[in-house]
């Protein structure tokens, strides 16, 4: 799935192990810890880095078929913050589900990248791209 660009060796390794339809979580600083999920904590201080910064670094090199976020995100954040997330996820199917369901789904992730983000409900679940079985391989 990875193409180029990620300098962090743990994140690069994690991305290389994600397969089609697997999920990866990019979480804010308050997201629960799941002992069974590989967690890479890159939080430094409040809002460094942010979920959108990590998504922006991953997106050019990672095939994302869909993104899921908590429904509560829209109620708890300004229109400006919502617009920033909409721009960052443009062109990808974005669905919302209750935060409790998002955490349950997150427990099935291949890995989780924890950021220092303080944006309410900024967590995103990325579903990796699917193989196009009709695509012909180059010879």
pLDDT value of position 1: 53
CATH class as words, domain 9-128: alpha beta
Q: What is the pTM of this model?
A: 0.89
- Rounded Cα gap, residues 82 and 106, in angstroms: 21
Residue 72, C-beta contacts closer than 8 angstroms, at least 6 positions apart: 98, 99, 120, 121
Three-state SS string over 19-34 comes to: CCCCEEEEECCCCCCC
Q: Catalytic residue, from 3, 20, 83, 130: name it.
A: 20
What the block records as the tokens of 18 is: 């994600």
* pLDDT one digit per residue (tens) for the chain, 139 residues: 545 688 899 999 999 999 989 999 999 999 999 999 999 999 999 999 999 999 999 998 889 999 999 999 999 999 999 999 999 999 999 999 999 999 999 999 999 999 999 999 999 999 998 645 444 444 3
Domain ranges of the chain: 9-128
99 is catalytic: no
């Amino acid at each position: 799935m990875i193409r180029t660009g990620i300098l962090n060796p743990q994140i690069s390794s994690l991305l290389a192990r994600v397969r089609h339809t697997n999920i990866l979580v990019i979480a804010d600083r308050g997201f629960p810890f799941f002992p069974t999920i590989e967690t890479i904590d890159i939080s430094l201080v409040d809002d460094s880095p942010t979920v959108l910064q990590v998504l922006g670094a991953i997106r050019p090199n990672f095939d994302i078929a869909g993104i899921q976020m908590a429904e509560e995100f829209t109620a708890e954040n300004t229109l400006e913050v919502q617009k920033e997330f909409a721009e960052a996820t443009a062109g990808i199917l974005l669905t919302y589900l209750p935060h409790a369901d998002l955490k349950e789904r997150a427990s099935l992730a291949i890995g989780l990248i924890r950021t220092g983000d303080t944006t309410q409900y900024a967590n995103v679940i990325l579903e990796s791209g699917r193989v196009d079985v009709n695509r012909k391989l180059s010879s």
